[in-house]
């Protein structure tokens, strides 16, 4: 599979990882849109949210918000933006489901 996020999960390419457990990984976005811009990714490859067709993948996807909550508390963030894009016409640049967690002032 030629998925950028799967390569990060498999440690084939480096990333600035801020959270990892057996099912999820979170790392800094290489093109940040805010002072803090993290991507929270399930280790299981799920291409896009709007095409999920089974309960297991819904559960995996919903847990992204729990990971976001843990990171927000751990980093003591004051406010944030959570965003998930679905497919390339709507801003999804990597075809592997992920949740953006952004906090802080916008970068110029």
**Tens digit of each residue's pLDDT, the chain (108 residues):** 789 999 999 999 999 999 999 999 999 999 999 999 999 999 999 999 999 999 999 999 999 999 999 999 999 998 999 999 998 888 889 999 999 999 997 655
| pTM for this model (two decimals) | 0.93
98 is catalytic: yes
Q: In sequence order, what are the residues at sequence separation of 6 or more whose Cβ sits closer than 8 angstroms to the Cβ of residue 25?
A: 8, 9, 15, 17, 19, 40, 41, 43
Active-site residue, from 37, 96, 98, 100 = 98
Query: Which three-class secondary structure state does DSSP give residue 12?
Result: coil
Per CATH, the architecture of 4-106 is what?
Answer: 2-Layer Sandwich (3.30)
Q: Count CB neighbours of 41 within 10 A.
A: 25
For residue 89, what pLDDT is reported?
Answer: 86
């Amino acid at each position: 599979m030629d998925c950028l996020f799967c390569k990060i999960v498999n440690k084939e390419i480096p990333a600035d990882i801020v959270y990892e457990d057996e099912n999820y990984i979170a790392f800094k976005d290489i093109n940040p849109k805010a002072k803090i811009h993290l991507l929270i990714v399930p280790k299981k490859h799920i291409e896009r949210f709007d095409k999920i067709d089974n309960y297991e993948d819904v559960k995996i996807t919903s847990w992204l918000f729990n990971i976001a909550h843990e990171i927000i508390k751990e980093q003591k963030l004051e406010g944030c933006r959570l965003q998930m894009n679905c497919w390339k016409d709507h801003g999804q640049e990597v075809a592997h489901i992920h949740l953006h967690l952004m906090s802080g002032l916008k970068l110029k």
